Amino acid sequence: MTESFQINKPKIALWKNLKEKKGTQTAHSFFWLSFSLFVTAFFILVAIRPTILTIAQLNKEIKEKTKANEILQKKIDSLVAAQNVYVKYANKLSLVEEVLPQRSHFGNFSYYLETASSSSGNLLVSFNIAKSAEGKKLSGNSLLYSSDFSLQADGNFASAKDLIDLLETSKRIVNLETFSLSANQKKEEAETSTTPSLKSEIKGKIFWLKQKK
């Protein structure tokens, strides 16, 4: 007589159930962990976004101000350098003004001619100058102007020569164009005089720089 036995496998079924349950719990845990991390990251990003934008704006402003400060410093350095040059040559600027004034200064030149004539032993008879406000602009230079002048003085040969020397050594630029001498007394008086009187006539130009408007 043959007997049969049925072998149940409860342990295998239980292991399967535990495995499925464990997998479901792991999936749920991973989901909630991911969800929590996402929510946390979202709120952190929302919270710090204004701070990030503020920092970026501040960095931009700092760079712009740094660049502006560099440009300003260069300008300051240029001004300091120009001031140093001015201080170095300040004493000579007055000489430049006398040589080539920024205005015509007709009155000053007239006074100089009177003084030069007197100191050289001449008597200034007449003096004329083209007192045009515009003067004559020299070609090729938009700022340099000139005016014609002429003078007559009574004296002798030595005094006439001294007058020419004073005009040629004047601090102001003077261009002497013509010079002539003529007898200033009758023939009989000239023959008996040891120092005959002569009339000097001088024509020339003076120059100046016209100021920009």
* Percent of the chain surpassing pLDDT 70: 68
pLDDT tens digit string along 171-186?
Answer: 888 999 999 988 876 5
- Quick check: 5 pLDDT over 70? no
Q: What is the mean pLDDT of the chain?
A: 77
Reported confidence tier of residue 37, pLDDT bands at 50, 70, 90: confident
pLDDT tens digit string along 60-81?
Answer: 888 888 888 888 888 888 888 8
- Give 102's DSSP letter: S
Write down the pLDDT at residue 53.
77
- Quick check: 154 pLDDT over 50? yes
- Whole-number Å distance between alpha carbons of 197 and 158: 11
Contacts of 189 by beta carbon, 8 Å cutoff, 6+ apart: 196, 197
- Quick check: 162 pLDDT over 90? yes
The CA distances from residue 114 to 83, 108, 119, 153, in Å, are: 39, 10, 9, 10
Say if pTM beats, i.e. exceeds, 0.75.
Answer: no
